[in-house]
Amino acid sequence: MRNEWPLWEVFIRGQHGMSHRHVGSLHAADEEMAIKNARDVYTRRNEGVSIWVVPAHHIAASSPSDTGPLYEPSESKVYRHPTFFDIPDDVGAM
Amino acid sequence: MYAQMIKSEATQDDPEKLAAFQVRIDAGDKIEPKDWMPEGYRKTLIRQIGQHAHSEIVGQLPEGNWITRAPTLERKAILLAKVQDEAGHGLYLYCAAETLGVTRDELTEMLLDGRMKYSSIFNYPTLTWADMGAVGWLVDGAAIMNQVPLQRTSFGPYSRAMIRICKEESFHQRQGYDIMMKMANGTEAQKRMAQDALNRMWFPSLMMFGPSDAESVHSEQSMSWKIKMNGNDELRQKFVDQTVPQAEFLGLTVPDPDLKWNETKGGYDFTGPDWDEFFDVLRGNGPCNKERLAARNKAWDDGAWVRDGLMAHAEKKRAAKLAAE
Ligand SMILES: [Fe+2]
Ligand SMILES: [Fe+2]
Ligand SMILES: [Fe+2]
């Protein structure tokens, strides 16, 4: 408690060219150990080919109370989705 | 289960906020760490996830007991991988608990000084190699029964930890059953060992689901908050119905003379475990309680200089890097 190892957030990139994805967190004294621990804790079954670790206190997060102002504006913009537009079948693939 | 008899905490929150919270739960929303939540929800979850994490960690001890004595190199590698998974499960769960505002060291200290519990099952000894089979088959089997529905629990980090755990758990049960098959089809002595392991593990496994729902005062609140997904009796019944045919396949006898298929209910009638023994084990009087806690305390104490040393080294490196910039 007095001298607890800091918390790190772990991001793993899987095999198929996807982005790094947050998988969880862990404690480690420094970044080198955080990567080693991440490898042991989060890639025991070939889950990844690349590991990022970030000190948890460096992550800035949006606040749950901002959900409305942040995400509601996009709800009304249905024309951003291709299915908004009716294109006749005769036009072919589009 | 891994989390047995979780006392749910009373909540004294604004009734309006409570009602809105319940609406979110009922709608299937996931609650995330920064969301508003009732104090009782937070405290109950810390206790439950903490107990679950402690069970994964202490649960390494009875199986770790056999790693150096596994009968083949392959069995040794498999058991080692299984026990390593359990360490991982403990870590996923500690992380989930920490998002609720408790630190890892606080959780550890509460385990070490007995303020927090772990599952009663790990206070039983593993006397022969056949116990490695019985533990994987029955103990991990019972754990799976409880963990699969918990993937849908309302607290996001807990649910995500359960999803990871469930992906790994089926290997645990299958490697256990594989050991049982080998023993049950082996020599007379091996068969006797397999039967003996089943005899000793059967009732402690049934205890894992906790006392009868009729006596579980705290289930209701946890059920409505989707912290607890099923009743204890319901899961125990499901476990028995699934496990009895597996024992028959092995040619082993479940140590319950009153076990009988009940056509009308479509399940087995069976004898419940001795609940006096269960409560006694919870009170610290099981065959291995003292040994388990002593082992955890020793590991924590012996590791103190490593934790401090690595921290000091990291700080020194950081300072040197700063000075070089
Ligand atoms: Fe586990
Ligand atoms: Fe387990
Ligand atoms: Fe397991």
pLDDT tens-digit map of B139-164: 999 999 999 999 999 999 999 999 99
Contact (CB<8Å) B318/A25: no
Q: Which of B95, B103, B109 sits opposite A26 (nearest CB)?
A: B95
* ipTM score over 0.95, yes or no: no
**CB-based burial label for B179 (10 Å; 0-12, 13-18, 19+):** buried
Place of tokens 């009940």: B262
Residue ranges, chain B, pLDDT below 50: none
Q: What residues of chain A lie within 8 A of the CB of B34, using their CB?
A: 61, 63-64
pLDDT tens-digit map of B39-85: 999 999 999 999 999 999 999 999 999 999 999 999 999 999 999 99
Q: What residues of chain A lie within 8 A of the CB of B81, using their CB?
A: 44
Distance CA B286, CA B125 (A): 10
The alpha helices in chain B, defined as continuous H runs, are 15-26, 39-58, 60-64, 73-98, 104-112, 130-134, 141-150, 156-184, 188-207, 219-224, 232-250, 275-280, 289-302, 304-324
Distance from CA of B29 to the nearest CA of A (A): 13
Structure token digits, residue B251: 């040619």
**CB-based burial label for B113 (10 Å; 0-12, 13-18, 19+):** exposed
Closest CA to A12 of A47, A41, A61: A47
* Cβ proximity of B139 and B22 under 8 Å: no
Give the pLDDT confidence score for residue A42 in this predicted structure.
95
Q: What are phi and psi of A7, to 5 degrees?
A: -95, 135
* Cβ proximity of B22 and B163 under 8 Å: no
Domains in chain A, CATH or no CATH each: 1-60 (3.10.20.520)
Structure token digits, residue A4: 């607890």
Cα angle B88-A26-B97, degrees, rounded to a multiple of 5: 80
Above 50 in pLDDT, residue A1?
no
